[in-house]
Amino acid sequence: MFKQVTGFAALLALAACGGEKAERTITTSDGSTLSVKKGDRAGEAKITATNAEGSATMTTGGAGQWPTAAAGYVPPYPGGVVTASFAGSSKEASGGMVTFTTSDSPDKVVEFYKAQAASAGLGDVSNIDINGAKIFAAKDKATGRSVSIQATVSEGRTSAAVTFGTDKK
């Protein structure tokens, strides 16, 4: 189901951006629907796919917006400039991703999220350093919460991607 949402998300988000209409819905021959509507914040769109098995929703945010769905253990990076974000949920899982830049080093970005993960009870899954690119992942098996961070230097600034999620049991 979530693949269906993400597969049509770009097309539908573009369709929703133009004109005065705040919501657009497409119904397929089997009764499934894809709906796009403006979100609660500027530049935000909500895409929902529904079929006989259930529904999945994805929210996209414009530059400068940290996903509202990000859990408390995934706060905005202090001084980070958000370049893109999205979040989604279905009956099986929820999660999202946000990308940002900062003048801080990749080490400092990863250490910030390591501390957040540890204080939220997530255990280290991996710590990787490949030619200065830092990757960190943590998970709490009991709650299904997870987070991963990738940070590297690009054009003199650190570019980072934070992916977060929760497996619903």
Beta strands across the sheet bearing 33-38: 23-27, 33-38, 45-51, 54-61, 81-89, 93-102, 157-167, 145-154, 133-140, 123-130
Which residues are CB-contacts of 92 (< 8 A; sequence separation ≥ 6)? Answer: 167, 168
**pLDDT tens-place string over residues 146-168:** 999 999 998 899 999 999 999 87
Output 18 or 78, whichever has higher pLDDT: 78
Q: Does residue 13 surpass a pLDDT of 60?
A: no
Residues 77-81, mean pLDDT to the nearest whole number: 93
Report which of 39, 144, 32 is spatially closest to residue 93, judged by C-alpha positions.
144
Q: Given this model, what pLDDT does residue 21 score? A: 56
Residues 127-136, mean pLDDT to the nearest whole number: 93
